[in-house]
Structure 1
Amino acid sequence: MSNEEVSKLPVAKWRGQIDLGGEELDVYVLNDETRVLSSGSTTKALANVERGSLQDYIGQKALNTFIDKEKVLQESIRFSIPGTQWVGLGITTEHFELICRGYVQALYERAPLTDRQKDIAIKAAVLTSGLTRTGLDALIDEATGYQYDRAEDALQVKLRAFIADELRAWEKTFPDELWEEFGRLTDWKGSLTKRPKWWGKLVIELIYETLDEDVAAYLKENKPPAGVRWHQQLTDNYGARQLVSRCYEVIGMSKTCDHIRELREKVARHYGKKPVQFTLYLKPPADD
């Protein structure tokens, strides 16, 4: 690219690294406040290759149904990095989540993946399970230092991201795989369409309560009218993606468990909950 072309590119004003499942990804916040992940480090994290094109790992025929390759590639962002002569290539946090979720979905739906693709799908589940309750955007803000420069209005910012002003009906928010894993881990023999009501408590514990604490509290304290589900209050963009992403993170962790108790413990540890042990005092038994 010519110097003139480079001068017209977005600029990486903040840069850093995030750790997802032991993988370091280079991340940037551009001067228009777009958060991006380095395309190269994303490829390395997924495929464990030093040099490779992301296109090579999202364009295979078996993945066409699950990953919109053209959208990801066309909306990739070239940007300049101050202090270097390099032009960076990044993907948005939304596209990173879509790629990981697409791989995982392909694995769960038993698409004809190669062994290599199956390994990447498992890696994608690990990467998404590495996201904390604050979300990928917030991780990047913290890693790059952008969190200290951005304008912030605490709860109201979070609510605008998660809560819609008008309710919208969602045809299908929770993936079928979540119910399948709950069924396997609880040894449920009945139909998943007539699942036990107490699974709702699992959703609250494993999904809603691992989202941002302020938003989870708002959802609990401001229940929607009868007949309207909680998740119908979420926005149709960031909030919905966070909710669905969290479902897949929990699904990924559930694949390594044999019992629902094990999953609850893993989720609690992963999202920062601390175990508490209670001591119960009883009268001594009466002498015979």
Structure 2
Amino acid sequence: MVEEITHSGYIEIGEATLYSFVTKTGKRLITATDVFKAVGRSRRGNIRVDGYPAFIGARNLIQFIDDDLRAELKPIQYRAKNGKIAEAYDASIIPRVADLYIEAHDKGALTVPQEQVYNRSMTIVRALAKVGITALIDEATGYQYDRESQALQKLLSAYISEDLMKWQVRFPREFYEQIYRLHGISDKFNPQNTKRPQWIGNFTNKYVYGTFPDSVMSEIRKRNPVKESARNIAYRGHKNFQFLTESVGIPQLDKHLAKLIGVMQLSDNMDNFDKNFNKVFAKEIERKKMQDDIKNGLLPLDLQA
């Protein structure tokens, strides 16, 4: 497959200025020439092993190439601006190559000329510590503006089903029993009554759907709007989980519910439960906070990775 370039631009890593581009399929590419430039390595020098790119194919380096890196060393064909077919590499290869030279240095395997590549590799690792290579290219090529909408579509497609799921019992009775118990009103729980009061809906939105991506929940609410009955009672036409996909959305919900009910069972009351919830779901809450900060412009986009 020959990749088609949609965005291009220059990035700076340390002292090197590199030409990068993004393809229609979302690949971030960089030429072999610029990989050499990034690590400050000459095309001449060490005896190379056939089948490996010159910037990493020295005999003394082969032992440090793992299967993951070996897979990334396969060149990708693309159509250059002049219409000719050329080859490039996935841009993520730059930090991987830098890591390899650092590992080889730490194990005393580098030749004297390769030591300068090690020094450049340290510069690369430090430069990319705060800004990933993908985010750097997306900003330089202008792809970041298209990326946001495309990434959102992928996220929504993963979580939200295009076909409305048939209704089935998704929230176990134990979930509702525990809610009533934590509020100190176990005697008011009626398992035969499937109509839930609004305050239970508020609990569910906060402790269940509250950890789902905001963009996913916004889309679900858009597809499942609040309606008003003849008696002026607000309601939604469907259950929120009916819009989730069986491949990602539903498994995510089931996993969350199982963990949540365990926390509910171990809690004595709502105050105790809220503290336990924030402790057990600390990672999910932190991730959600970071997403909100990114959305509000308080954190750079590259921290989403």
Measured against the shorter chain, the TM-score band is: 0.3 to 0.5
TM-score (ref. length: structure 1): 0.47
For the pair shown, the structure with the greater C-alpha radius of gyration is 2
Larger RCO, structures 1/2 (Cα 8 Å, 6+ apart): 1
